[in-house]
Structure 1
């Protein structure tokens, strides 16, 4: 049996909440990936490290737990990068953490992008904000990103067939990228 793929899920919300839609979306993505791949998942949450992260101007100044978070991100076989939309983009502390990633640490690393926002008007944050950020680091941003709004949730669960379908499609394509035999035949493109 082959070893598990190292999936790191970065939850880029600077505030902690038990009912975080961003965290809930990531949990659904992880579960959909688990159904397709043998994975080991590590969560990196911005909220617990946000205050001390904001005080560091260089990576040499970060606390050990921030350095550990950065090392986890840099060692990912697949990175799930999820952020809430704040004033039309990702939170500033999310960007600050990304700024400390080694310039060549994510070269060719597949990155599954996800975001949550207050309305559909921010849905392009994935393509206009997150994709360029990770492309700069030469990561391989996967073509299918997942965006969700409050209307997609009911309490602590996803309540939208469209969002569940998008999660399944994103997971299938990510699995297919990591292990081409894992993608279901109906989702494969015929060349």
Structure 2
């Protein structure tokens, strides 16, 4: 099975990338048979926007599970991640387990980006994990990451892997509203 992790930041790898790397390594170590691939923006246009490679949509669509990782930026996800989401066809995330990983500068941002992503994922008919992962960025600033944060990342990844394995590619209905109201009626 394959996990696609999406690094939704336009900035060079930093604390969010470190958190995502720990999650990815945890999946490789604890779940034999799982392949993990990171999808990251290719070109930064400005400090707040970057573009994606032509294969990003295909790689997400071909994954069995996805982690969307974003720093909290002005109370929501980054424009970079939103650009990628806007490129995805509905079927790329339909009935697919998706985990939400966010990192912010302050604890009071803990639900801002997650709330927006959950709304977006429902539009796709995706299956968000019951629990997301949120961290204050300073957790990943020290040379050694706190054991509790590593455990939280491990448990977050485990729920995503278990959900994907149990679903085994099943689709759930009814179709999301966007599909029902855009398909041709006969």
TM-score range, shorter chain: 0.7 to 0.9
Show the 5 A alignment for 1:1-191. Answer: 5-17=1-13, 20-34=14-28, 35-46=30-41, 48-51=42-45, 66-155=53-142, 157-159=144-146, 161-180=147-166
| Secondary structure of 1:9's aligned partner | strand
In structure 1, list runs of 5 or more residues that go unmatched: 56-61, 181-191
TM superposition score normalised by structure 2: 0.78
1:59 maps to none
Deviations 1:55-101 (A, max 9, x none): 9xxxxxx9xx6221111111111111100111111111210111010
Structure 1 residues 44 and 38 mapped into 2: Cα distance closer, same or farther (>3 Å)? Answer: same
| Secondary structure of 2:19's aligned partner | helix
In structure 2, list runs of 5 or more residues that go unmatched: 167-186
Structure 1 residues 37 and 133 mapped into 2: Cα distance closer, same or farther (>3 Å)? Answer: farther
What is the deviation of 1:166? 1.6
| Secondary structure of 2:161's aligned partner | helix
Q: Compute the RMSD of aligned alpha carbons.
A: 2.2
What is the deviation of 1:129? 1.5
Which whole-Å CA distance do the structure 2 matches of 1:93 and 1:116 have between them? 15
Structure 1 residues 171 and 148 mapped into 2: Cα distance closer, same or farther (>3 Å)? Answer: same
Deviations 1:126-178 (A, max 9, x none): 5312211222111111112111112312435422x332222122122122212
TM superposition score normalised by structure 1: 0.76
1:183 maps to none
The question of whether the paired residues in 2 share the 8 Å contact of 1:78 and 1:111 is answered with yes
Aligned residue pairs total: 163
Which whole-Å CA distance do the structure 1 matches of 2:80 and 2:157 have between them? 27
The question of whether the paired residues in 1 share the 8 Å contact of 2:19 and 2:140 is answered with no
Which whole-Å CA distance do the structure 2 matches of 1:137 and 1:50 have between them? 27
